[in-house]
Amino acid sequence: MKPVLAPMVRAGFVGMQRICSVYGADTLFTDALFPQNIINSNIFESQDILLFIRKDIRTIFFDKSLLHKTCVQLVGSDFDTLSQSILILQKYFTRIDLNCGCTKNFARQGGYGADLLNRPESLISLLKQLTQTHPKIDFSVKIRYLESEEKTIQFVSDLFNTGVKYVSIHMRHINQDRETSEADFNQFYRIYEQSAFKKQLIANGGIISLKDYEKFKKLFVEPPQVMIASGAVRNPSVFKAICGNIDGINEQEVHIQQVLQELMSLHVLKPQSYKQVQGDAFELSPESIAQFYFVDTKIGIAMIIQYTKKYKLDKQDVEWAKLAAPKVNNAKNMNDIIQIVNE
């Protein structure tokens, strides 16, 4: 089965989704989105793009050609709020994932993310409500190992019995992180072998390169689907390698600049797409500005500023654009662009 682009904070933007799709990623996860932000957004749609724009200027951006491959990951624990956001999303998406693996303090203190694993009965009840209320949606859930293998095996079975279609397991425990703990491939193998839902289990964590995947794959007669996160940032062609097409795979890490240059040639977004967006003018986050610049350089920095200033350039904006353009052209990566835009 083809690999999946995992949800990634700060790297789940549409440009990365597009290039990973080209390289062979089967499903493209968004980063974790708060349902309240979906509810509070105005929606703008053109032939090519879909925008969810909140009053506080944060923008959720989608390439419409990728909607059929996109899984929107939500983070939350309140049924009413989640359900309301799903009613909005189901017009565009058929797959929704509930994040139950985030170990960040804000998530656990807020009662969602990995904290839901401490309340398995509540999570099971929530998922039953969601699957029954929204039968047209293919739900999935992303978890981590529980304190014992036996509990994890039973929990996975309970999750599938709620009606969710997929369960992805981050191959670490709640108290482990990727900086200090290796993903446990063997424990996933044992869980997988005892599961009645093998084809619906997805492995996540620790698979950075083709070498890692080959090590993981050797454990199985029929290897499960895998999620790639950090490996995609380092080298998006890892999807191509995992899919078996290793021709032209460079063992060197691909710099994000190279990825974005390739995106330009793909014409992911067309300048006229922005002009087609109907409704009130919108402003964009620095990340989106940087993304727009790299996706199609023909827009130019002045054009970007035009769109971030409600389609109207004033003298001050023009002068800023003239000063920023050389810096942008010499930038080595997207973070440099974001820093320039924030100046």
* Residue 114 included in any domain: yes
pLDDT: which is higher, 194 or 300: 194
Domain count, the chain: 2
Q: How confident is the model at residue 38 (pLDDT cuts 50, 70, 90)?
A: very high
One domain for residues 99 and 212: yes
Residue 259 lies in a domain: no
User: Are residue 289 and residue 229 in the same domain, yes or no?
Assistant: no
pTM flag (> 0.85): no
| DSSP 3-state of 50 | strand
pLDDT of residue 51: 80
Q: Which two tokens stand for residue 256?
A: 């994000």
Number of C-alpha atoms within 13 angstroms, CB side, residue 221?
Answer: 5
pLDDT at 164 over 90: yes
Based on the fold, state whether residues 242 and 282 are members of the same structural domain.
no
Residues 165 and 299 both lie in one domain: no
28: three-class secondary structure by DSSP: strand
| pLDDT value of residue 270 | 37
Q: Which one of 200, 225, 251 terminates a domain?
A: 251
Q: Which of 203, 225, 251 is the last residue of a domain?
A: 251
Q: Based on the fold, state whether residues 42 and 166 are members of the same structural domain.
A: yes
The residue-averaged pLDDT of 35-51 equals: 83
- Identify the weakest region by mean pLDDT among 10-14, 15-19, 155-159, 235-239: 10-14
Residues 111, 184: one domain?
A: yes
* Whether the Cβ atoms of residue 317 and residue 309 lie closer than 8 Å to each other: yes
pLDDT tops 90 at residue 160? yes
* Residue at 213 is within a domain: yes
What's the whole-number mean pLDDT along residues 244-257? 46
Tens digit of each residue's pLDDT (9 = 90 or more) over 275-332: 333 332 233 344 444 444 444 343 344 444 444 443 344 455 445 555 665 665 566 6
Q: Does any domain span residue 256?
A: no
| Segment among 36-50, 55-69, 164-178 with least mean pLDDT | 55-69
Q: Tell me, yes or no, whether 131 and 166 share the same domain.
A: yes
- The answer to whether residues 336 and 297 belong to one domain is yes
Residues 230 and 117 in one domain: yes
pLDDT of residue 246: 44
Of 251, 286, 321, the residue at which a domain comes to its end is: 251
Does 133 fall in a domain?
yes
What is the pLDDT confidence band of residue 267, given thresholds at 50, 70 and 90? very low
Together in a domain, 120 and 236? yes
Query: Do 26 and 73 share a domain, yes or no?
Result: yes
Q: Which is more confident, 279 or 129?
A: 129
Read off the pLDDT of residues 67-108 as tens digits, 9 standing for 90 and up: 999 999 999 999 999 999 999 999 999 999 999 988 777 666
Q: How many percent of the chain have pLDDT more than 70?
A: 67
The verdict on residue 262 lying in a domain is: no
Which residue has better confidence, 307 or 171? 171
50 — pLDDT class (breaks 50, 70, 90): confident
At residue 250, does pLDDT exceed 70? no
24-33, 153-162, 165-174, 331-340: least confident range: 331-340
Instruction: Write b or e for each residue in 296-323: b if 16 or more Cβ atoms lie within 10 A of its Cβ, otherwise e.
Output: beebebebbbbbbeeeebeeeeeebbee
Domain range for 45: 4-251
As beta bridge partners, residue 142 has 99, 168
Asked, for residue 123, whether it belongs to a domain, the answer is yes
Average pLDDT for the chain: 76
E-only strand ranges, the chain: 4-5, 27-29, 42-45, 49-53, 59-63, 70-74, 95-99, 138-145, 166-173, 201-204, 225-228
Residues 69 and 124 in one domain: yes
Q: What's the pLDDT at 145?
A: 94
Which CATH number goes with the domain that contains 44? 3.20.20.70
Instruction: Over range 33-45, report the average pLDDT.
Output: 88
What's the residue count for the chain?
A: 343
Rounded distance between C-alpha atoms, residue 114 and residue 151, angstroms: 15
pLDDT at 161: 96
Residue 296: predicted pLDDT: 39
Domain presence at residue 260: no
Residue 224 pLDDT > 90, yes or no? Answer: yes
